[in-house]
Amino acid sequence: MTAAIGLFQRLALPEPWAPASISRDIPLVIYGASSAVGIYALQLALRSNIHPLICVAGRAKDYVEGFIDRSKGDAIVDYRDGDEAVVKGIKAALNGRPLYHALDAVSEGTSAANLAQVLSADDGKAKVTFVLPTAMGGKDIPEGVEQTTTQVGDAHGDAQDFAFAYFRYMARGLQEGWFKGQRVEVVPGGLGGIEGALKNLKEGKASAVKYVFRIAETEGVSN
């Protein structure tokens, strides 16, 4: 829902049931494309026929590769190559086109600063939405770029009607197979595996995966 609100309410991109025509060219940067929000945003954007999709990812870029369409200009930029390479890679994928839409599913570190160097701020059309409010209002984003935050809690606020419709649309997508959940990994030992999983998260070892803990497998827990 965070991804949907970000794309279609905050960035005002074409809805999946009224996709962009083939002739339209709508570059979209998804920063953190292999994250939970990022991978869902990627799938919804594909459903809306939004291209080129410029995906910033790292160790899980092969996973992202399985979704994008290179024939339509989609590209992956590896953030591990450094900030300068990220900016250069996004500009190369834009190929001279203006960038008016960006969803920052990271909203930490240098993501906002890198986006500031590629968003087209001159004509007041550019929009960027962040998943963390701490990225908002920073000096990195130039004047002329509309900044917003997107959080799932918006589904209980100004996006109530939107969420009502989109939860049902996502359910249909799961049934039909064009919308998929993120990969999961069952951690051995039930709740006893939480410490190790948290360590993996802290050290950045968890990539494009959600951890699942089976309580019944916890030592000392009776069924």
155 and 213 both lie in a single domain = no
Mean pLDDT of the chain: 92
Whether 130 is in a domain gets the answer yes
Whether 113 is in a domain gets the answer yes
189 and 139 both lie in a single domain = no
pLDDT digits (tens, 9 = 90+) for 32-60: 999 999 999 999 999 999 999 999 999 88
Percentage of the residues of the chain whose pLDDT score is greater than 70: 96
Domain extent for 100: 2-160+164-172
pLDDT digits (tens, 9 = 90+) for 68-77: 999 999 999 9
41 and 87 both lie in a single domain = yes
> Domain tally for the chain?
2
104 and 190 both lie in a single domain = no
79 and 16 both lie in a single domain = yes
77 and 28 both lie in a single domain = yes
Whether 179 is in a domain gets the answer no
Whether 177 is in a domain gets the answer no
Class of residue 22 by CB neighbours under 10 A (exposed 0-12, middle 13-18, buried 19+):
exposed
pLDDT per position in the chain (223 positions), as tens?
Answer: 999 999 999 999 999 999 988 657 899 999 999 999 999 999 999 999 999 999 999 988 999 999 999 999 999 999 999 999 999 999 999 999 999 999 999 999 999 999 999 999 888 899 999 999 877 665 678 888 999 999 999 999 999 999 999 999 999 999 999 999 988 899 999 999 999 999 988 887 777 788 999 999 998 887 5
149 and 198 both lie in a single domain = no
Whether 223 is in a domain gets the answer no
Whether 213 is in a domain gets the answer yes
Distance CA 25, CA 97 (A): 9
Helix, strand or coil, per DSSP, at residue 64: helix
210 and 141 both lie in a single domain = no
**pLDDT value at position 203?**
83
**pLDDT value at position 220?**
86
**pLDDT value at position 22?**
67
**E strands within the chain?**
28-31, 53-57, 75-78, 101-104, 127-130, 146-149, 184-187, 210-213
76 and 107 both lie in a single domain = yes
14 and 124 both lie in a single domain = yes
Whether 18 is in a domain gets the answer yes
**pLDDT value at position 23?**
56
The CATH number that applies at residue 73 is 3.40.50.720
190 and 144 both lie in a single domain = no
Judge contact between 164 and 184, C-beta under 8 A. no
